[in-house]
Copies of this chain bind each other. A is one copy, B any other.
Amino acid sequence: MSRPYNFSAGPAVLPETVLRQAAGELDDWHGSGVSVMEMSHRGRHFTSIAEQAEADFRGLLGVPDDYAVLFLQGGATSQFAMVPLNLMRRGRADYVNTGSWSKKAIAEAQRLGEVNVVATAEADGFTDIPAAETWQRDAEADYLHLTPNETIGGVEFHWVPEDHHGVPLVADMSSCILSRPVDVSRYGLIYAGAQKNIGPAGLTVVVVRRDLLGWTRESTPSMFDYAAHAKAGSMLNTPPTFAWYLSGLVFRWIWDQGGLDAMAARNRNKADKLYRAIDESAYYRNPVAVDCRSRMNVPFVLHDPGMDGRFLAEAEAAGLLNLKGHRSVGGMRASLYNAMPEQGVDALIDFMGDFERRRG
């Protein structure tokens, strides 16, 4: 029996082959006699798993050698504090406000220093990204923070801000990492919760230029000190070993699919199809400006919001799961992460057309 299509915004669909491999070796990893969950994180088996995962991740994104890759806990929410605690040496930073997740990052940073919101799209309901020429950037900022993909609003940067007096770029790529190639060298720090394109919830990956490390406030908890984690090879304490392992299987799967170029082409194709179906319909609508629509999260509303419940129930019966939009936006949201096959998008489009015709 084929699996249903899971459009959850996160935790999200994982590649079926990865799940099958994990199930098959769950109680005995490669003849070791133990589960990955039962391995000492400092033993030879887990060390090999961890190193392979990091090497595969570095290869996929082309991470330069002068960047550390850290496998941490706490999700993006921890990063919202960890970034200012480690990078806000002068006590001020620039933030771009493009939606719910930007706002959370800003609120957390404001407790730790001076935040300059260089641009905000709040006035038009976060359906656009303010043009870079309008941003009020600070040449002395410790960093500029942006959210390249807003999971809730469905807004995505398809460009990277230009350098501004060497101010490091910090990006929350939780919901777009590994969905397309990235020029890591243009960023000072990239972070991402795992539970969209990487693996299970409970793991956070951080890519950071090593020259930015080495300073933090004296009162910073050790667990919030990037330098301590980098020095310890992400084993300052017991890491989330199973999530790390599972993510490694996902990295291998991406390689098997052809790497990030192949992912980008597939993701563009999936998103284009769905937006086209929405735009060509009189029944569905996506409010986001065309040039900053997300390829990962596609929110849409029905002509008649009174039909939302029926749409969701019929979709679920048709094997199309978790399409309910975030409560702050309403309507529907289809998340199209790497592991969502094109057939899932086709099935959704067919269902949407059918639902519309039956209501039309």
Contacts and interface: CB of A to CB of B under 8 A. Distances in A.
A203 B202 contact: yes
Interface in A12-49: 12-14, 16, 19-20, 22-24, 26-28, 33-35, 37-41, 43
A41 B201 CA distance: 9
Contacts of A11: 37-41, 238, 241
A23 B20 contact: no
Interface stretch (A1-9, A55-63, A118-126): A1-9
Interface residues of A, number: 66
A74 B223 contact: yes
Nearest to A73: B73
A14 B36 CA distance: 11
Contact of A75 (B23, B39, B201, B238): B238
Given A43-B322, A195-B238, A108 B222 contact: yes
Nearest to A3: B33
B238 A111 contact: no
30 contacts: A3-B27, A4-B34, A9-B40, A11-B41, A11-B241, A14-B38, A19-B26, A19-B37, A23-B24, A26-B26, A33-B321, A34-B321, A37-B200, A43-B322, A73-B73, A73-B74, A73-B75, A73-B202, A74-B223, A75-B223, A75-B238, A77-B237, A78-B221, A80-B221, A81-B224, A111-B218, A195-B241, A201-B241, A202-B202, A240-B240
Given A19-B26, A201-B241, A243-B243, 16 more contacts: A14-B38, A34-B321, A37-B199, A37-B200, A74-B78, A74-B223, A77-B236, A80-B221, A81-B221, A81-B224, A108-B221, A193-B238, A201-B238, A202-B202, A221-B224, A240-B240
